[in-house]
Structures are given as C-alpha cells and as structure tokens.
Amino acid sequence: MHAVPRPLELRLLLPLVILVPLGFAVTHIAQTSTLDPGPMAVAIGYVGLMLGAHLALRLVGNRGDELLLPCVATMGGIGIVMLNRLPQELLGTDAFGVRFGMATTQLLWFGVGVSAMVLLAGRFRDDGVLRHYKYTWALAGTLLLVITFLFGREVNGARLWIFLGPIGFQPGEAIKVVLVIFIAGYLAEKRTLLAGASARIGPFSVPPLPYLLPMIAIFVIVMLVVVVSRDLGTALLFMGIFLTMLFVATGRRSYVLLGILLFIAGSFVAYNLFGHVRIRVDNWIDPFVDPSDRGYQTVQALYAFGRGGLFGEGLGQGLPTISGHLPIPALPTDFIFAAVAEELGLIGAFALLALVMCLVFRGLRTAMLARDDFSAMLAVGLTVSLGLQTLIIAAGNVKLVPLTGITFPFVSYGGSSLLACFVIVGLLLAISHRSVVDAQIEGRGQ
C-alpha cells in the first residue's frame, strides 16, 4: 500500500471551500439583517474534514471511484448549512455536560462517519469475511432486530431507538447494511440456480423450494420489521433493496412482481392492524382532511414546497417560525428535503436530486466493473439502499407515497443514519478499488 493521487476528487472537492462558508454567511446575514458572516467554526471544520478525508484516502492508497466522496461531501455541505441555520436552541444534543448545536453534533457524526469510511476504504481488502460468514451476519441482523424489539424505545409511534446512556442509536441502519451483505452473499452463490430452474405457481414462475425458503425467510424478516418497529419506511426500504437485488441477480421481473404483491398484501394487513400505519396512509390520500392535527406535517411540507417556487425563498429567508417553533417539527430529519426545496427552490431541489443520482450511478458503475458476483451484488445492494432511501423520503415529502420516517442520506440530521451511509460509501470505495487494481494487473499481464 502506497499513497496514490486522486486529482479528480480534489478538483471536485475544492469548490466546497467556498460553498459551505458562503452558505453559513448568507444564512447568518439573512437572519440577522446585518453584514456579519457569523461564526464559521463548523463550516471550516466541515470543509477541513472533507479535505482530510481526501488526503486520508490518498494515504491509504485507495484507487476507488473519485466521484463518490465529492458527491457525498456536497450533499452533506448543503445539509449542514441547512442544519446550522435552523433555530439551534430548539434542537441539539446534551452530552458530557456540554450543549452542542445541531450543526456541531452533525459535524461530530460526520467525523465518525468519515473515519469509518476511510478505514473501510483502506483496510478492507478481503471480502471473504463478508462472503463466507453471510449466515453469521444474518444472525447478527436478526439479533439486533430482537434487541430492538425487546429494548427499543418508541418515538413517534415507531420503535426505532436503542439508548446506550445518552447516545441514541437506530439499529435499523445497521440492520440495513447487514441485510445487504447477507443477500449479496446468498444471491452470488445461488444466482445461477435461481435464474435457471423454476417451478410455477399460477402465472408466476418461482424458484424451486430449497432456494425459495431463504427468500421467504427474508420476506418474513422484513415484515417482522414492520411489526416490531412499526416503521413502514424501513420495511419499504428493506423490501425494495431485497427485490432490486433479486432482480439484478436473476433478471426475472416475475420475482419482483410477486414480491411487490406480497408486500402490498402485507401492508394491507399492517394498515388494518396498526393505527400508526393507517394514519400515515390516510394522510397520504388526503392530508387536507385534518390539516391542523394529523395531516399537519404533510400539509406544512407542501406549503414549504409551494413557498419555494422556482428559485426559492432565498437561503436563510424561508422556513418562517411560528412563535419560535419550526413549522414542521421533524424538519431536520424527515423533511430536510422540503426545507432545501423551500430555500433553494426547484432548482436547488433538482441539484440535490442530481447529486444523489450521480452517487447512485457511480455506485452502479462500480457494480458493473466488479470482478466477481459477490462484489457486484454487494455494490448493487449498497447503492440501491442509498438510492431507494432517498427516493422513499423525497417521494414521501412530495406526497407521491405515504410519508415515512426515514432520513435523506447525508443531508438529514441523525448520527446512526450518517454513519451507516458512510460505511456504505467506504465499502463501495473498497469494491471499486479492487476492480481498478485487478484491471491494472490484467492490463500489465497482457
């Protein structure tokens, strides 16, 4: 391992040196109506962290995709500018007797996430640990699920949190990564068999029973997530990841169709069983029925989109607080996309979506260039988990699908989510690194 240059990455990261401090200054000027850029420590810290991540990737000799980090860093930059401009006294974390603002807390988590990413990108060279112990990973995931069920704390009707002292932790984020690893391992091994022989149930061709069973198991686990965490968003995400990976491995649309039908059936049961789910679905159908109570957040988000218009209210000039309260309580997490769309307008929201798409396509490209099936499936799964998560929350914000409480990757406030997202990018960098290195060896060989 020796240092490598990553010139494209550096070039794409450099504009952040202006972008993030500019965002901090603009919001401060807009909010105070004075020509004072305000405190810059968090902005400088953030830019420093991202440049540091770049240097660290060079030092550990990662030759992986050079667009991933700048993509993520720009998204995170927009996020931290938004978090910094929100009323800080309302949200934030108390830890070790010090009160951290939201942006500061988020910056700390960025630090943790980036470290994890660099570690994986640099040290993770042999995927055997993931591949050969896939059942162990599946067991670990199930265990986490059980722990959440037993010790989880309920927030907004969904049991998602485990608290270790003052630090809250969402096991769903870890389970997501573990799930991807397990499915990738399983499908890479059984792919040819799943794609080949098949039995038929009605109009659907299904894989033979021995191969069907683990898939049913995964389905049941996903449905368990709904029951345990009562969280429709996570269930939708898990199911989406599973079906997408199944499609990529086998190329069979009928499996996906069958899965979707089963999911709809399951959701229907959940709708009738859980009031929490029912409220969300009813709100989705018409939030204006009860705009001041149950439909409140959805309606407020729609107003935020409406206020934004084409060019936005202007950074720092949107999100009117009503007697010191944010119009949307879950704004920093579930509705950060609406906040960006309000202040930066349609063009700002498009920019954010474009960044996510760039990230997704780079991830898929990594999958296509991977030298072996497991790496390819892993890259697909990891990428899709980021892409689908964005789609589900963004579509929920704009009322295309029922709103669910999941985060916008790299932009939303939240430590567990941020860490999981950086772990994903770290793994993608590692996979990408290996295919680049292999291709070079091969090139030298010929």
Partner 1 sequence: MTGEVLRILLLVLQLGFLALLYLILIGFSRALLRDLRSAEVTQMASQSGIGRLSVVESPADEPALGSAIALGPINSIGREVNSTIFIDDDFVSGLHAMLTFRGRSWFIEDQGSTNGTYVNGHRIDRPVALSFGDELTIGRVRMRLER
Partner 2 sequence: MIATNVRRLSVYLLLAFASVSGALVWWQVLDAQALATRQDNPQVIATRRSLPRGSVFDSQGRMLASSVVTDGISRRTYTDPVFTHLLGYASLRFGATGVERAWDDVLTGRTDPNPLRDLLNDILARQPEPHDLTLTIDQRLQDFAAAQLGADRGAVVAIDPRTGAVLAMVSNPTYDATGFSGDPATAQAAFDAVAGAADNPFLDRSRQGHYTPGSIMKVLTASAALDAGAITPQTTFTDQPREEVEGFVVNGFTIREHDLAPVAPALWDLSPALQVSSNIYFAHVGLELGAARYLDYARRFGFCQALRIGSDVRGLPIDPSYVSARADGGCAPFRDEVELASAAFGQAAVSVTPMQMALMAATIANHGAVPQPYVVRDLRSHAATPAAGPTDSVLESYGGGRGNPAISSGVADQVRRAMIDAVLGPIGKLYAGAGDVTRFGVSGVQTAGKTGTAERGPGLKPHSWFIGFAPAQDAALASIAVAVIVEGGGSGSGHAAPIGGAVMAEWLKLVGTGG
Residues near partner 2 (CB under 8 A): 30, 195, 244, 247-249, 251, 288, 291-292, 299-300, 302-303, 305-310, 313-314, 317, 320, 322, 327, 341, 345-346, 349-350, 353, 356-357, 360-361, 364, 367-368, 373, 376-377, 380, 384, 387, 391, 394-395, 398-400
Q: Which of 348, 387, 409, 415 binds partner 1 (CB under 8 A)?
A: 348
Owner of token pair 């202040």: 343
Q: Which helix (H) or strand (E) element contains residue 320?
A: none
Tell me which of partner 2, partner 1, none is bound by residue 445, counting a contact when its beta carbon lies within the kind-specific cut-off of 5 to 8 angstroms: partner 1
| CA gap 70, 68 in Å, rounded | 6
- Is 15 a residue that touches partner 1 (CB under 8 A)? yes
Tell me which of partner 1, partner 2, none is bound by residue 341, counting a contact when its beta carbon lies within the kind-specific cut-off of 5 to 8 angstroms: partner 2
Question: How far apart are CB 195 and partner 1 at their closest, in Å?
Answer: 7
Tell me which of partner 1, partner 2, none is bound by residue 372, counting a contact when its beta carbon lies within the kind-specific cut-off of 5 to 8 angstroms: partner 1
Tell me which of partner 1, partner 2, none is bound by residue 290, counting a contact when its beta carbon lies within the kind-specific cut-off of 5 to 8 angstroms: none
Q: Which of 4, 10, 30, 40 binds partner 1 (CB under 8 A)?
A: 30
| CA gap 216, 54 in Å, rounded | 42
Q: Which is nearer to partner 2, 82 or 162 (CB)?
A: 82
Q: Which two tokens stand for residue 231?
A: 């969280």
Tell me which of partner 1, partner 2, none is bound by residue 300, counting a contact when its beta carbon lies within the kind-specific cut-off of 5 to 8 angstroms: partner 2
Question: How far apart are CB 367 and partner 1 at their closest, in Å?
Answer: 12
Q: Which of 53, 72, 78, 427 binds partner 1 (CB under 8 A)?
A: 78
Cα maximum dimension of the chain: 71
Tell me which of partner 2, partner 1, none is bound by residue 375, counting a contact when its beta carbon lies within the kind-specific cut-off of 5 to 8 angstroms: partner 1
| CA gap 403, 183 in Å, rounded | 27
Q: Which stretch binds partner 1 (CB under 8 A): 22-30, 89-97, 263-271, 286-294?
A: 22-30
| CA gap 49, 137 in Å, rounded | 31
- Is 162 a residue that touches partner 1 (CB under 8 A)? no
- Is 373 a residue that touches partner 1 (CB under 8 A)? yes
Nearby residues of 213 by Cβ (< 8 Å), 6 or more positions away: none
Q: CA 76 → CA 200, 277, 355, 372, distances in Å?
A: 47, 30, 11, 31
Q: Which stretch binds partner 1 (CB under 8 A): 9-17, 168-176, 263-271, 326-334?
A: 9-17
| CA gap 29, 317 in Å, rounded | 10
- Is 441 a residue that touches partner 1 (CB under 8 A)? yes
Closest CA to 230 of 294, 278, 282: 278
Q: Which two tokens stand for residue 320?
A: 């009117």
Q: Which is nearer to partner 2, 209 or 322 (CB)?
A: 322
Closest CA to 137 of 180, 177, 178: 178
Closest CA to 393 of 240, 244, 252, 245: 240
Tell me which of partner 2, partner 1, none is bound by residue 333, counting a contact when its beta carbon lies within the kind-specific cut-off of 5 to 8 angstroms: none
Phi first, then psi, for residue 355 (nearest 5°) are -65, -45
Q: Which stretch binds partner 1 (CB under 8 A): 7-15, 167-175, 270-278, 386-394?
A: 7-15
End-to-end CA distance of the chain, in Å? Answer: 23
Question: How far apart are CB 356 and partner 1 at their closest, in Å?
Answer: 12
**330-367 burial, b if ≥16 CB within 10 A, otherwise e?**
bbbbbbbbbbbbbbbbeebbeebbebbebbbebbbbbb
Q: Which two tokens stand for residue 421?
A: 């997202």
Q: Which stretch binds partner 1 (CB under 8 A): 31-39, 163-171, 286-294, 400-408?
A: 31-39
- Is 58 a residue that touches partner 1 (CB under 8 A)? no
Question: Helices in 251-295 by DSSP H: which ranges?
Answer: 253-273, 275-285
| CA gap 123, 125 in Å, rounded | 6
Q: Which is nearer to partner 2, 139 or 357 (CB)?
A: 357
Q: Which stretch binds partner 1 (CB under 8 A): 148-156, 184-192, 272-280, 284-292?
A: 184-192
SS3 content of the chain, % helix, strand, coil (to 5): 70, 5, 25
Question: How far apart are CB 192 and partner 1 at their closest, in Å?
Answer: 4
Tell me which of partner 1, partner 2, none is bound by residue 48, counting a contact when its beta carbon lies within the kind-specific cut-off of 5 to 8 angstroms: none
Query: Is residue 173 helix, strand or coil?
Result: helix
Q: Which two tokens stand for residue 399?
A: 């009322």
Tell me which of partner 2, partner 1, none is bound by residue 428, counting a contact when its beta carbon lies within the kind-specific cut-off of 5 to 8 angstroms: none
> Which residues make up the interface to partner 1 (CB under 8 A)?
8, 11-12, 15-16, 18-19, 22-23, 25-26, 29-30, 33-35, 66-67, 70-71, 74, 78, 188-189, 191-193, 195-196, 311-312, 314-317, 344, 347-348, 351, 354-355, 358, 361, 365, 369, 371-376, 438-439, 441-442, 445
